[in-house]
Amino acid sequence: MTEKPSDSNASADSTRTAGGVEDRIEADGSPESFDSLEYEVVTPPVLVIGAGAAGARVAIELAESGVEPLVIGKREHGDAHTTWAAGGVNAALGSLDPEDDWTVHTADTLTEGHHLNDPAAVELMARAMPDRIRELADWGMPFDRTDDGDIDQRYFGAQSYRRTCFVGDRTGEAMLDTLIGRVRELEVPHRENVMITRLLSDGDRVDGAIGFDMEAGTGLLFRTNHVVLAAGGFSALYHRHSSREDENNGDAQALALEAGARLMDLEFVQFHPTGMVGDRYGEEWDGRLVTEAVRGEGGRLYNADGERFMERYSPDQMELDARDVVARAIAREVREGRGTEEGGVYLDITHRDAEYVRERLPSMVERFESLGVDITAESMTVAPTAHYTMGGVDIDFRTGETGVEGLYAVGETVAGVHGANRLGGNSLAETVAIGQRVGDHVASVVTETDVDPDVTDGQRALAEREFRALRALAASDGSVSPTRLLSDLGELLWDHAGILRDEAGLRDGLTELESLRARTTDLRVDGGLTSKSFEYAVDLSMALVVAEAMLRAAIERTESRGAHYRTDVPETESDWRMNLVLAADTEGVSISRRGVADPSPPVREALNEGYELDYHHLE
């Protein structure tokens, strides 16, 4: 259904549009009447924004419950960030360690989250995961198997037992392929190359979403009573990160905040210890993930002096200590002059049999071979890279509800499961465990009247204001490119809100952020609505919102905990065992504190047992 907007006196809404401009000349030089913009109205009963593992699992549950959702993504169907989660997915199956169970999985997760996790959410995930793994296997996921035919499991950092199920070192890819295969079996409708720029919301409820077709350059108005945000995190805001440049830019968090939802714990950004670094890999691979599976299979870290330095920092857990511990150790080695010329350290697995490495880490072997490096015979150069964001949208994990009627969220979009530091292998677990639960709840509240909602005059007016703002942004003819500003933002955050932080640096970051925001008035977009330049301009508008909220939360938390390490307040304080909740207000973002619930008695018992990985089992 294609319509032209009715006459409206509403002006362009530029509260977040990066250029902050209204009527301009089109990029090709010809005048354009913004009131003539055509757009399509789509009315699904449920709109799922994000086509990775979390969005796919929600859609599967909806479809199996008799509800036909529409799933939209920014890329081709089946191509999502999930594919970059390489090493594995956690479930207490006990294939190799029968003493493992959901209580220990929960305890490990709470311990590594420094007890800021939502204990009930963690328990939901840990209890559900054995069934979710068996379900994936039934749908055809080709898990590695033991000689007895059981699903194989490997060690991952800071886990008490071998709990991480895997498909070589391409687990995320295999999981997404399996989920998308199931989605296609169920004939779930989907649209590719769609970007959402605003939710239809009055602050109390959501009535749909507004965006554009990235190939056609036309507007899209999705009118629905149920929207599920599953669009990822915001780690790509950093200079060195493990994402592709055009994803994980904070879209979901910015959309939710502006729609009236709350965010939580944005200060917690996980820096994976091992990202690629070095001239021999080239700029294209800077920061790309070297999976934790390398260390899970026995990989060792050495500094430039040939010292296995984790012996100083964690003699019991060594390279398989928590990610924040290993990342800070590497950063300290580099800062104190024991790093490589490229600013990293060496990751070495050459002591393992070459055929074993090729069998267990095929993607890593292939990637490095393409760059002229044989990891079975020589070391990799690695350094920490921004990898995952523990903070996100504040939800009720029993339902996915955000507090805004009709708006739900799931996956890396949300906060709560991982606390202050994520346990490796839990990201994929969260997507399917919580995704199934959210899909089940949304299916239970969809009614017949949700199938073809009417579009009101007010909703049309809001959509048309957004379309005019987007057209104006596409016509921006200043001198600064969006990619330049995104790059500068990445450097700003890396320098002022990276692995090591302090209040002075964070406040300097806020000051520099205001200067960067001022430069958006001179933005230049080349190529119009279908260009990468325009996509990055929209990304920038989202990124600025989330970057400011994250910096403010990092200033507010005056302690060090998990991935948030303040050199000016290096201790963890018991009084700070609370979540930071952020909400939009008239002056920007307000921050409040909320206490964390206690775990259930069975989990407390597991915590008291003090289970802990012993790295030397690998020796």
Structural element, H or E, at residue 488: helix 482-496
- Residue among 552, 540, 541, 538 nearest 588 (CA): 552
- Name the DSSP class of 4: P
Look up 441 and say whether it is catalytic.
no
Q: How far apart are CA 598 and CA 107, in angstroms?
A: 12
The β-bridge partners of 581 are 264, 592
Alpha carbon distances (Å) from 82 to 51, 100, 142: 9, 26, 16
Instruction: Please name the amino acid found at residue 602.
Output: P
Structural element, H or E, at residue 212: strand 206-213
Q: How far apart are CA 308 and CA 314, in angstroms?
A: 11
Token pair 């749909």 in the structure block, residue = 208
Q: Taking the C-alpha atoms of 548, 552, 553 and 558 in order, what is their torsion angle to the nearest 10 degrees?
A: 150
Characterize 388-405 residue by residue with b for buried, 16 or more Cβ atoms within 10 angstroms of its Cβ, and e for exposed.
bbbbbbbbbbeebbbebe
Using the Cα atoms of residue 325, residue 331, residue 335 and residue 340 in order, give the sign of their dihedral: positive
Token pair 């949300």 in the structure block, residue = 414
Residue 317, classed as helix, strand or coil, is coil
Residues 261 and 394 sit within 8 Å (Cβ to Cβ): yes
The β-bridge partners of 393 are 263, 414
Spot the catalytic one: 295, 367, 471, 561.
295
Look up 295 and say whether it is catalytic.
yes
Q: How far apart are CA 541 and CA 472, in angstroms?
A: 14
Spot the catalytic one: 272, 300, 352, 460.
272
Residues acting as catalytic residues: 272, 295
